[in-house]
């Protein structure tokens, strides 16, 4: 039977077998999971490496493939390494700690290239050298969940893979050391107070400041706030409260509304960017700086050019680009981020930089350019959903000779590369970035030039 679109309907998922199965892993897919076959279906096996024999449990069964989780490694690969984190395999924060560092990136990059080749898209040669950095202690921010069980015992951590249950983190080697050092004392404070209204805690390491945002659904008692104030002084951490659903509405520990700012530096320290604790910022500061430097080198903005930075956030790329380009316009959907971009432009004395609020999934490019003026170069740094709507319109904007695309999702990047190729652009530079070591995530940077 076919659907109205003419494609065969997928059969519904079946309940996976509860019995463990033995699998011979003969390949690796783009996200680092092992590839095996069982019962005539492909099986994607988390925690397994190519060449291994493992005992695994099926966790999801579809009509054409299954997903499984490694229970025991019967015959290990020579590429397997001991995971340094005691929670690896249960915690959903990391997926690849069992894989050597150089292998992690090679596997993810090979997965990207395979996706591009399967779409018959032309690849530039050679590729840019991958941007890599410290594999541990790199994460400058994280949101951890808080749960209390029926006995009042607290858990503080990331969720388990494919589950809502939290892993109570005793350690987290990917967190920046000042943040990791707060896990045990924060858990102790939560356990002492038994504050069931607390649902999440945001950990943020900024320039010369360690901060927490505690999210809660009901007012915290005065006694808890008193001990939290003492705790924050003892730990050297700044703490804010978020009692409302709006993440921008924060309180200090005295219960007063605040609008705080944190800072980080880029461009060899020449630029200082401020951000609200709830703003999006990159979590790997070292790779972020290297990424900006590479973007400047590839796009090479000129003094006579007008550069348009779409999905610009607080100006992570816009500000460095404005030091070289004649004019830069940054566009972002979130009004608060636009306000932050304007703050940052003024603070750094960049009078050639403007910010606009716009829903880029709905605003036609022609109307947007009516606000910004004609552009010469374009920078795209979209969320995981990519930039389909924008890419489909670029063929008609003849003034744009170069496009720099920064992606955090290989599938949408490959899709948008196909669209840009149809719009008359050629992929001339391609590189990958290890923004999230120990995980399956891969960041991509690509330069497109009009043919």
Q: Output the known binding site.
A: 85, 91, 94, 172, 282, 311, 316, 332, 359, 381
Instruction: Determine the Cα–Cα distance for residues 313 and 331; give it in Å rounded to an integer.
Output: 8
The SS3 assignment for 56 reads strand
Could you list the residues known to form a binding site for S-adenosyl-L-methionine, using ranges: 282, 311, 316, 332, 359, 381
**Which residue numbers belong to the known binding site for [4Fe-4S] cluster?**
85, 91, 94, 172
Phi-psi bin for 272: left (phi > 0), alpha (psi -120 to 50), beta?
A: beta
- Asked if 128 contacts 430 with a C-beta cutoff of 8 angstroms, the reply is yes
Half-sphere exposure of 364 (CA within 13 A, CB side): 5
How crowded is residue 37: how many other Cβ atoms within 10 Å of its Cβ? 15
- Find where tokens 């330069």 sit: 447
DSSP letter at 313 equals T
Q: With b meaning 16 or more CB within 10 Å and e meaning fewer, what string describes 251-268? A: bebeeeeeebbbebebbe
The answer to whether the CB of 405 falls within 8 A of the CB of 414 is no
Q: What is the 3-state secondary structure (H, E, C) of 212-280?
A: EEEEECCCCCHHHHHHHHHHHHHHCCEEEEECCCCCCCEECCCCCEECCCEEEEECCCCEEEEECCCCC
Q: How many residues would you count in the chain?
A: 451
Q: Is 408 a catalytic residue?
A: yes
Which of 111, 169, 112 minimizes the C-alpha distance to 143? 169
- Residue of 66, 312, 391, 408 marked active site: 408
SS3 191: helix
Say which DSSP state 29 is in.
-
Question: How is 138-152 classified by DSSP, letter by letter?
Answer: -B-EEEEEEEE-TT-
Q: Count Cβ atoms within 10 A of the Cβ of residue 186 and give its class: 0-12 exposed, 13-18 middle, 19 or more buried.
A: buried
Contact 275, 340 (CB under 8 A): yes
Q: Say if residues 237 and 211 touch (Cβ distance below 8 Å).
A: yes
- Is the Cβ–Cβ distance between 403 and 376 less than 8 Å? no
Q: Which residues are catalytic?
A: 408
């Amino acid at each position: 039977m076919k659907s109205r679109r003419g494609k065969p309907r997928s059969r519904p998922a079946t309940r996976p077998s509860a019995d463990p199965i033995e699998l011979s892993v003969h390949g690796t897919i783009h996200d680092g999971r092992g590839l095996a076959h069982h019962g005539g279906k492909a099986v994607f096996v988390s925690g397994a490496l190519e060449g291994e024999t493992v005992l695994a449990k099926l966790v999801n069964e579809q009509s054409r493939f299954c997903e499984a989780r490694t229970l025991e490694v019967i015959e290990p690969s020579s590429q397997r390494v001991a995971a340094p984190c005691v929670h690896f395999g249960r915690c959903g924060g990391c997926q690849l700690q069992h894989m050597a560092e150089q292998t992690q990136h090679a596997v993810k990059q090979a997965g990207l290239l395979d996706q591009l080749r399967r779409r018959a898209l032309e690849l530039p040669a050679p590729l840019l050298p991958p941007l890599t950095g410290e594999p541990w202690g790199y994460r400058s921010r994280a949101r951890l969940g808080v749960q209390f069980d029926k006995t009042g015992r607290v858990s503080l951590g990331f969720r388990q893979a494919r589950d809502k249950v939290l892993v109570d983190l005793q350690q987290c080697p990917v967190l920046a050391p000042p943040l990791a050092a707060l896990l045990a004392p924060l858990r102790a404070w939560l356990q002492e107070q038994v504050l069931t209204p607390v649902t999440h805690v945001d950990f943020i390491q900024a320039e010369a400041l360690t901060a927490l945002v505690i999210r809660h659904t009901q007012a915290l008692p005065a006694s808890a706030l008193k001990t939290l104030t003492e705790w924050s002084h003892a730990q050297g951490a700044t703490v804010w409260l978020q009692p409302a659903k709006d993440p921008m509405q924060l309180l200090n520990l005295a219960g007063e509304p605040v609008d705080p700012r944190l800072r980080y530096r880029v461009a060899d320290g020449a630029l200082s960017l401020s951000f609200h604790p709830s703003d999006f910022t990159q979590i790997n500061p070292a790779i972020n700086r290297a990424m900006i430097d590479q973007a400047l080198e590839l796009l090479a903005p000129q003094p006579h050019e007008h550069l348009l930075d779409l999905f610009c956030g607080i100006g992570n790329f816009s500000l460095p680009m404005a030091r070289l380009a004649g004019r830069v316009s940054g566009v972002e959907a979130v009004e608060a981020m636009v306000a932050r971009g304007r703050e940052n432009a003024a603070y750094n004395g960049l009078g050639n930089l403007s910010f606009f609020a716009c829903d880029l999934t709905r605003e036609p490019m022609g109307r947007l350019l009516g606000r910004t003026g004609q552009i010469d170069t374009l920078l795209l740094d979209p969320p995981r959903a990519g930039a389909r709507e924008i890419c489909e319109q670029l063929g008609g904007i003849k003034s744009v000779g170069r496009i720099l695309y920064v992606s955090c999702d290989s599938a949408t990047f490959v899709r948008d590369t196909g669209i840009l190729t149809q719009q008359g652009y050629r992929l001339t530079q391609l590189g990958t970035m290890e923004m999230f070591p120990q995980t399956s995530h891969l960041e991509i940077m690509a330069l497109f030039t009009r043919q």
